[in-house]
Amino acid sequence: MVLKKDKTVSSIVVSLVLGLTPGAFAQGIPSLKDTFQKDFGIGTALNPAQFEERDPKTTEFIVRQFNMATPENVMKSALLHPTWDTYTFEMADKLVEFGRKHNLKINGHTLIWHSQLPGFIRGIRSADSIRTFFTDHIKTVAGRYRGKVFSWDVVNEALNEDGTMRKTVFLQHLGEDYVTEAFRLAQEASPNTELYYNDYNNEKPAKRAGCLALIKKIQEAKVRIDGVGIQGHWHVGKVPLKDIEESILQYAALGLKVMITELDIEVLPRNFQGADVSQRMANNAESNPYPDGLPDAVQQQLAADYEALFKLFLKHKDKVTRVTFWGVNDGNSWLNNWPIRGRTNYPLLFDRNNQPKPAFYKVIALKQ
């Protein structure tokens, strides 16, 4: 059996299979945010078409399913700060207004990241100029959205896989204390906003150790850090549940909130792990195996993986404060175009028509 990408098993049939009563669907598809309202926030990543409300049905769907949102790109410095003395806030402002209008808490993403930097950074050679950019960017952006965003990913992906500091332009010119300084500046610019460190693979032991050391360094400097984001870019059938649980426990032991910030489960072949956007793969016939639909065996494994993950999140709901999916539906996922452009991927709970997949019902059934 193959489930076509533009079709889905009917809600009633799936509900009966999973033991959900037909009455649960009286108001249509169940709501993720309502189902987990007493446990943790449910977020999604939004693109301009979505927060500009170009399609009313999509807006209605987003508002029904999610109560938190993170911008995919519009708050990254390449788009927000394109030239040395120019900021372009129009799209970020629209995102923030979308959140205000529809009661979605906005997580700002991200103040400092080595990737998607403005082009002029490549021409800078002096540490003083990098520090000026670094300081002004944080103060200007965090200050503008003071009281308007719930939280910030202050620094994104500062670590290598072995837990050492990634060799970025900020490390090169500002030294290892740049992460602590970023949090200090963000705290000053937006004192009532929650401040997070965000990374991928920081549930793995070596990178986790580096992340814990980084957090302790910030705390020892008496600078506020409120939480840590585990991105959650995992692969079907290989979700590292033990490492995730141990990471939740160890991060929480430092007094931090824990978020799953960019959740998706890759179902296509990949010859590396993680989410380093600079990595690429060759495009060949084997790289896009499911252009017309996902085989039932893979669909069921995806559902089982999501069920196991949410069981774990519910077990630690006193520590996990948010679960954000990196995309509203399969068609929006960045994994369709990375690390190979034009693939057909199926990593989320909703198909390309915003219809729930078996994984969605497995997750919902945990609360029935």
Catalytically active residues, by annotation = 157, 262
Supply angle C-alpha 232, 198, 108, rounded to 5. Answer: 110
> Rounded to an integer, what distance in angstroms lies between the CA atom of residue 270 and that of residue 268?
6
What are the residues whose beta carbons fall under 8 Å from the beta carbon of 148, sequence distance 6 or more?
96, 100, 106
Looking at the DSSP bridge assignments, the partners of residue 234 are 265
CB 77, CB 147: distance < 8 Å? no
CB 196, CB 259: distance < 8 Å? yes
Reduce the DSSP state of residue 351 to 3 states and report it: coil
- Give which of 246, 206, 209, 211 is closest to 225, Cα–Cα: 211
> Rounded to an integer, what distance in angstroms lies between the CA atom of residue 69 and that of residue 108?
9
Sole residue written with tokens 């332009």: 169
